[in-house]
Each structure stands twice: as structure tokens, then as C-alpha cells.
Amino acid sequence: MAQKPALLIIDMQNDFASAHAVLPVAGAQAVITPLTQLLSLFRGKHLPVFHIVRVHEPDGSDVEWFRADLFKDKPFAVRGSHSAAVIDELTPVPGEHLIEKVRMSAFIGTTLDLMLRTLGVNIVVVGGIQTPNCIRTTVFDAMAFNYETILVDDATGAQTKEIHEANVLDMKNIGVKILHAADVGPWLDSR
């Protein structure tokens, strides 16, 4: 079977990753440069790119129960708002896909799996924020859906280096390939 990768960029939105974020994720700023490198690489090779964004209804009716109070105090990622949009540095271009989600995994309640299969994608390359939550759940679901899964270590971030590294080790232990952004180009060329 021919191998076809796609890039999944998770939650790199104004509310989480911009300089004026409502709920800033520690480590988000550090992953912008590696993500722009990956994005350029995938665009240059005309490979599929998916921007996965968390969005919520303005009334918070689709927010997880454990984040309901937080949302009441600081509404975040409200559908249609500038805050929910992808940060300027990674703005999608025509031909790239934007997938909205309301849970941590990019696969839960979305069309991501259907779209990947329709495009003939069987390898996902994952980056974004944050490692123990949306990255990890997306990666585990990708493995469960039988996608070869690549985590780009320096293009993912978490609250602390220790949290990030512990979660990367867990993902590596289930068979996820761990690469650095600089290694993705040579890896793609070897396919």
C-alpha cells in the first residue's frame, strides 16, 4: 500500500497560543517555529494539512462538565470568534482543512477519520498543544484507528518539560514514532 502522510496541527488558536491568549498554554510559543517549518514542508510537498481547533457554543452548552465553571468565568474558543481562530503564524491557506472539535481528541465527534481515509492518508504527523491532553488523546485514537503515527517532539508543548517528556515516553511505548521537526523532511524523502 502506498504511504501518504498528513499533518495534524492541534489547538494552535488565539485563545491558547497567541501573545494575548485568554487561556495561555505554557510552551505554546516555543512550538510555533517548528510548526511553521512543518507547515512549509507539507505545503511544499502538496501533502494534506489539517488544522484542528477546539470550539464551543457561546452559552457553553458543549463544554465538558469539569471545565464548565472555567468557561463561565473566561469563555474560551467561542465558535466564530477571533479567539477561536488559528494563530496568524499558522493561518490555513486554501486547500487546507479546518476541523472543529469539542473534546480533546481530534477524532471524537468529527469527520477527521472519514476525511483522512477519503484522501488515502495512512500516516499522521502530529504537532500542537498540549501534550498530555489534546495531543495525547488524538495520538492514541490515531493508533486505535490504525494510522501510523508520528509525534513531532519539538512541535508539541505542555505546561512543563517533565509533563511533556513523560507523555512522549508513554506514546513512544505504544509504537508512536518520535521525530524532531528537522528530521521530518528527510523522513518524508525516504518514503
The pTM of this model reads: 0.95
Mean pLDDT of the chain: 95
pLDDT score at 23: 83
The tally of domains found in the chain comes to: 1
Residue 166 placed within a domain:
yes
Residue 24: the pLDDT is 85
pLDDT, average across residues 94-112: 97
- Is residue 66 domain-resident? no
Return the pLDDT at 170: 96
- How distant is the alpha carbon of residue 168 from its chain centre? 14
Structural domain contains residue 80: no
Q: Does residue 8 contact residue 127 with C-beta atoms inside 8 Å?
A: yes
Q: Is residue 81 part of a domain?
A: no
Residues of the chain above pLDDT 90, percent? 87
Tell me if 61 is assigned to some domain.
no
**For residue range 156-190, what is the model confidence (pLDDT) as tens digits?**
999 899 999 999 999 999 999 999 999 999 999 98
- Contact indicator for 141, 158 with CB cutoff of 8 Å: no
CA distance 64 to 90: 27
Position 21 scores a pLDDT of 83
Give me the pLDDT at residue 1, please: 63
Residue whose C-alpha cell is 516555543: 30
Give the containing element (helix H, strand E) for 155.
strand 148-157
Q: Name the band, by pLDDT with cuts 50, 70 and 90, for residue 140.
A: very high
Amino acid at 94: P
Looking at residue 61, the DSSP 8-state letter turns out to be: T
118 within some domain: yes
3 state DSSP class of 123: strand
**Residue pLDDT, tens place only, 13-48:** 999 998 888 888 888 999 999 999 999 999 999 999
Q: Does 93 fall in a domain? A: yes
Kindly report the CATH number assigned to the domain that includes residue 107. 3.40.50.850
Q: Confidence band (pLDDT; 50, 70, 90) for 84?
A: very high
- Identify whether 68 is part of a domain: no
Structural domain of residue 153, as residue ranges?
Answer: 5-53+87-189
